[in-house]
Chain A
């Protein structure tokens, strides 16, 4: 096991720069998730750690060693690919044993390690099968088994669950987390799915357009998003963001339809921010039903059983709310809503930074 340090790493393809100086410190044994929309550079960064892409600038260390010019096979890392990259002509056992066979490890050691990994992942009965004969979840497990057998310093996962169906994804999420708790190997995991990031990570790195937007513990990012991008990206359904001005009474939201502006209550007002143009953020799950609150017209109701997601219109804007209660109102009717004032967010309208 080892720590990983990424210091001012840059990547350019010709004159197009795709990663603009990224700094990330990953502690020994930590589970770090790189998350961001498509094209944000997260996979490229992972491939740079693996050595599959050149590093255009900056430095990557694995343990004490700078690995910029170290070939992939000497970095002592194992990677799980999005399409699993299992060797189709080898059995499950051979797939897992391949790296050790190349190293000419003794057969007894190979059998032992493969057997142990297969046991951890529940693959013991499938060792003689070929990848084609496996289901998606089983292939995913073989790909992880191949990584475990290596016993590397660092595990790298490149969107490993995106080819699985929704139910299996949730199950594998738990399995990967369990596996990490058991093996305690430093792990870097790339995904575009913020729920995966929230549920699995010790530390989330939110990336966007080749820079790190924010880095921190999952709940920290959820509670205190540093900017508008993180605020909108983390959380599902995503945070309601309203443009407007901070006033003495609260937050006066713009009314694009031209009616009277709604005033939203603010929890803690940053000092000296009155009169400032800002963006008001409130998460759907932080809006509660309140007959005396703001009157809003119901547009869409989406019950999920455990909760109800409602899109409402008020003050010329659309808001998404998630209620624990079941809603009897019909679309077109009016309900009263109120935000939890303790968990509202304010962002500078010009810079997008948190106020």
Chain B
């Protein structure tokens, strides 16, 4: 009797068990648990990206359905003077601004790492350029670079008397480019400085003392202790900084709108200019898509070139 009951129970549970078994099957469970997150990613990240790439291969304009035209957009960009200038501008802008941000940011981080009076206040002040909305600081720079009311010109001409004429910051191609780079450096320093400061604070002071006893002078301590210990965080910050600078839009668009005569267009601003105000959605998307190879390259470079060193790896003895 008891045996029979047990048997019937077994049969019952066996009949039910395909669902139970499915949920016990690990790959299925993993798939199921990932589904909501993956769905979000798909809808909100991949779909816009996919649509952007698709648009780049069509002749879509605002208010008109586009047709697939293959690489036509890219071919016409290849012979487009303004586009080529924007590529060079972007490279120059990214290269010089990143170098400037890192040189000044590292210097600032080293200064702030010392024992200074009002240290936390100083650190807070450093962050100001970063927390101010970009458009606001762009307007401030627009004002600073104004041909008539620029404070820089005023100081140089009227106060110091070093110059006779006011500087035309934004009216000519090269001064405009350097002005934008300066504004970008100003805006980017805090991020670099604070990140590197965090890195500096993880370096044990006894390493410096050991190096001092080993006979290292200040430069050697920086070269052989600070720099290698800072490398991992430097790599991460560098990657982010390059990505942010390369895709920068706000500062340039707010200060020069790509002018004078398209001389300061970055790829991002040109893509917007062609796509939205210009209405050529397909062409704008093509310009934006053209940024992708550069970004992938920069990411790979920092991933492989500056990624984890052997000395950082785990405690294994092999």
Which residues of A pack against B, CB within 8 Å?
A: 50-52, 71-73, 77-79, 81-83, 85, 87-90, 98-99, 102-103, 129-133, 146, 150
Contact = CB atoms under 8 A, between A and B. Distances in A.
A83 B206 contact: yes
A102 B216 contact: yes
Contacts of B211: 87, 98
Contacts of B312: 88, 132
B206 A85 contact: yes
A83 B204 contact: yes
B204 A85 contact: yes
Contacts of A130: 310-311
Give chain B's interface secondary structure class.
helix
Most A C-beta atoms less than 10 A away, residue of B210, B231, B314, B317: B210
Interface size class of B (residues with CB under 8 A): 20 to 34
B229 interface: yes
A70 to B, nearest CB: 12
B214 interface: yes
Interface of B: 204, 206-207, 209-217, 220, 224-225, 228-229, 231, 309-317
Contacts of A102: 214-216, 220
A81 B206 contact: yes
A81 B210 contact: yes
A82 B204 CA distance: 12
A175 B210 CA distance: 22
B45 to A, nearest CB: 36
B225 A87 contact: yes
Nearest to B203: A88
A132 to B, nearest CB: 6
Contacts of B209: 50, 52, 72, 79, 81, 85
Given A89-B231, A132-B315, 10 more contacts: A50-B209, A71-B212, A73-B213, A73-B214, A73-B215, A87-B207, A87-B211, A102-B216, A103-B215, A133-B316
A103 B220 CA distance: 11
A133 B310 CA distance: 10
A7 B313 CA distance: 47
Contacts of A89: 228-229, 231, 309, 311
B311 A72 contact: no
A120 to B, nearest CB: 19
Nearest to B309: A89
A107 B148 CA distance: 64
A79 B210 contact: yes
Nearest to A158: B206
Nearest first, the 9 closest Cβ-Cβ pairs linking A and B are: A99-B214, A85-B210, A85-B206, A73-B215, A130-B311, A89-B228, A89-B311, A81-B206, A102-B215
